[in-house]
Amino acid sequence: MGMTVGMVFLLWSMNVFIKAVGLGNSSCSGAAAVCGSVTIPYPFGIKPGCYIDDSFAIDCNKTLGSPKPFLRRLDLEVLDISLEGTLRVNYPMSSWCPKSETEIAPKVSLASSPFVFSKLRNIFVAMGCDNLAYLISSDVSNSSLRIIYGGCMSVCEKDAIQSNGSSCNGIGCCKTTIASDLDVFTTRVESTSFKRTEDCIYASLVDQKWFEENLTNHFEVQKMSHVPVILNWEINANLSSRVMGGNSSHSTCQFANRSSSLGNMSSTFTCSCDSGFEGNPYLVDGCQDIDECTNLEVCSFYNLRYPCVNVLGGYYCDPVSDHKSRNKIIIIEASLDHVSGTLPEEVTL
């Protein structure tokens, strides 16, 4: 009898878990999938039913040598996914080569998707001599409706000594910020020189940190077909029941209204683990207690170290008797919202 009750309770728990996080496929355990070197956490997923919505579906392409994940709807290679609401993708460069009259002007539209280009994490860069590059609204059929979202111009002085590429200051390379909530645009690359030049000119959005900290020479970008770009993501509010239906503990979800560069409004939400917890806030019981006591320094004061006691959502430092010095030992508390009862603030030994 006890075994039967246990099996019934286990099956009931699994059904509640699957319903709560919207995992319609029984093969989806909630554990993050992996494609190549990239971890794919829920609400993203690879198998049918393992993602919250088709916009979060990932295809693991195994025909390119090592497996690489791609956003199914946008066909962008995924480099990294953060549950803090960002997605790092490989984004195509735009270029214009006058000698061969070859233009590469890829257009990636994020319209009607849960993604926008991150204003805080990206910059717009242009490379080459006498290069005027700018971001323009995609409705180019009517010039009166065009909106320029930003741009910059890079110049070169004939026979001047070029920099080593460690700075992007307008000489052969320029950069600028982008507009908020940008989801669709066209990149224009034009030469400002009256003389025909044979050199190609380039422009693209790019992950600012990667561009400024990882490149020893900014002009290396000219040899790349794709560069890292950061997207912000939020979930449509209509899908909230798939995350919150199980009353997930130790996580909080917040709703907001988001506008796009096209003027469209949508209601979205994001979730995060409560203070003192870590993990995946989009899964039932996905946020686990952080054991702060693994850090041996949390209860160290001057040259003294006191026992650390981990509690749900926090920790405190336990007073230790010191009869020789008769020290006053202060108890440190952190995020003790989940602890019942009270602890003494100060103990004299």
Q: What is the CATH number of the domain that holds 99?
A: 2.60.120
Q: What is the pLDDT of residue 102?
A: 85
**Which residue range(s) make up the domain with 22?**
11-83+234-289
Instruction: Give the count of beta carbons closer than 10 Å to the beta carbon of residue 92.
Output: 19
Q: What is the pLDDT of residue 6?
A: 43
Together in a domain, 124 and 263: no
Together in a domain, 104 and 181: yes
User: 3-state DSSP call for residue 278?
Assistant: strand
Q: What is the pLDDT of residue 320?
A: 63
Q: What is the pLDDT of residue 22?
A: 41
Together in a domain, 328 and 306: yes
Together in a domain, 171 and 217: yes
Together in a domain, 102 and 48: no
Q: What is the pLDDT of residue 159?
A: 55
Together in a domain, 226 and 92: yes
Using alpha carbons, select from 152, 156, 200, 155 the residue that is nearest to residue 176. Answer: 152
Together in a domain, 227 and 240: no
Together in a domain, 18 and 112: no
Query: Does 2 map to a domain?
Result: no
Taken as a whole, the chain contains a residue count of 349
Q: How far apart are CA 16 and CA 11, in angstroms?
A: 9
43 preceded by cis ω (within 30°)?
A: yes
Q: What is the pLDDT of residue 141?
A: 56
Q: What is the pLDDT of residue 7?
A: 39
Query: Does 4 map to a domain?
Result: no
Q: Is the separation of the CB atoms in 263 and 257 below 8 Å?
A: no
Query: Does 226 map to a domain?
Result: yes
Q: Is the separation of the CB atoms in 172 and 127 below 8 Å?
A: yes
- CB burial of 95-128 (b: ≥16 within 10 Å; e: otherwise) equals bbbeeeeeeeeeebebeebbbbbbeebbbbbbbb
Q: How far apart are CA 56 and CA 73, in angstroms?
A: 9
Together in a domain, 226 and 90: yes
Together in a domain, 143 and 222: yes
Q: What is the pLDDT of residue 13?
A: 35
Q: What is the pLDDT of residue 71?
A: 97
Domain boundary among 233, 252, 274: 233
Average pLDDT, the chain: 79
Q: What is the pLDDT of residue 99?
A: 79
Q: What is the pLDDT of residue 115?
A: 95
The structure tokens listed for 149 are 């979202």
Query: Does 25 map to a domain?
Result: yes
Together in a domain, 200 and 212: yes
Q: For the segment 43-93, what is each residue's pLDDT rounded down to a tens digit?
A: 999 999 899 999 999 999 988 789 999 999 999 999 999 999 999 999 999
Q: Which residues of the chain have pLDDT under 70?
A: 1-30, 139-145, 157-166, 194-197, 244-248, 260-263, 320-349
Q: How far apart are CA 98 and CA 195, in angstroms?
A: 11
Q: Is the pTM of this model over 0.75?
A: yes
* Number of structural domains found in the chain: 3
Please give the DSSP secondary-structure letter assigned to residue 213. I
Using alpha carbons, select from 280, 268, 273 the residue that is nearest to residue 239. Answer: 268
The structure tokens listed for 234 are 């939020």
